[in-house]
Amino acid sequence: MAGNIDSPIQPLSVGNVVSAGIRLYRSHLKDYFLLALQAYLWLLVPVYGWAKFYALTSLISRLAFGDLVNQPESISSGKSFVNSRLWQFLLAMLLLFLVGIGIGIGVVIVFSILGVLAGLLVGGVVQQGNPATFVVLGMVAFVVGIVTLLAVLWLITRFYLVDLPLAVEDNVDGASAISRSWELTQGYVWRILLISFVAFLITIPLQIVVQILTRVIQLAFLPLIQEGASIYLLFYFVLILAISFSSGAVIVPFWQTIKAVIYYDLRSRREGLGLQLRDREI
């Protein structure tokens, strides 16, 4: 792993990152879709299948990153690499789950303390009968809520790239991949959040179509299910599952290519990776 260098290269803009991700996604649409669909089907298998899901979706980022550094790789070769680290992917998932629990507990503790303090303050305000104080307390509660939300988003974003080092770099395991993501994202959290927000806006039309289609199917099957025809209930769940998996297999590769571009960009500026590639359009 190369050491950090001082680079005059400016980071890719939000628009460039998203457009680069879109171009990568479009150029490998079929392959990425099939990989993502395989990943979603593995979700039906407990534990082992979850690790396969994480590994296969990470493989998409590995393949996209290979294109970015002019070292394209076959799907079979990439699969061999990520499969060799299958249990490390599972370990990373478990550690991230525990981190998520820790963040959740921290938020609950903070709001519990604030709730107790607010109760004491409100009790004092009621005795005083000053309406203006209620307004001030409301504004303080709003600000605290926003700050807490931003703090949680900041923490979550520090783990945004955990799967990339595990899928790309040598001598990385499930635990060190987490610290690697923390290292790479340092100082760039808000930029990553902005990129993610723009990418989310792009996926909204598809999500709306999926919601409409799901609602139509629900309305069509509900009368049949209410009549007690269990076969229609089975068809309904199969259709909903197929729509969910298919739409996920369309959206997930887009997110994974965006992550690959972010990972490439951060490593370029922190470690000098591929600086010679900056002269060409990604």
CA 79 – CA 67 distance, rounded (Å): 16
257 contacts 25 by C-beta, under 8 angstroms: yes
Q: What is the pLDDT of residue 131?
A: 65
**Is residue 2 in a domain?**
no
- Average pLDDT over all residues of the chain: 85
Structure confidence at residue 220 as a pLDDT band (50, 70, 90): confident
At residue 7, the pLDDT reads 41
Task: Give pLDDT, residue 4.
Answer: 40
Confidence at residue 278, expressed as pLDDT on a 0 to 100 scale: 40
Check residue 276 and give its pLDDT.
42
In a domain, 201, yes or no: yes
Amino acid at 145: G
Question: Residue 43: inside a domain, yes or no?
Answer: yes
Per-residue pLDDT band for 124 (boundaries 50, 70, 90) equals low
**Is pLDDT larger for residue 3 or for residue 183?**
183
Q: Is 4 within the bounds of a domain?
A: no
Q: Which residues lie closer than 8 Å to 195 by C-beta, 6 or more apart?
A: 14, 17, 18, 258, 262
The pTM score is 0.84
Q: Among the listed ranges 12-16, 180-184, 193-197, which one has the minimum average pLDDT value?
A: 12-16
* Residue appearing with tokens 């635990």: 175
**Total tally of structural domains belonging to the chain:** 1
- pLDDT over 60 at 236, yes or no: yes
| 6 in a structural domain | no
Dihedral angle of Cα 141, 146, 152, 155, to the nearest 10 degrees: -130
Q: 258-273 pLDDT, tens per residue?
A: 999 999 999 988 777 6
Residue 153 pLDDT greater than 70, yes or no: yes
Q: Which domain holds residue 25?
A: 14-279
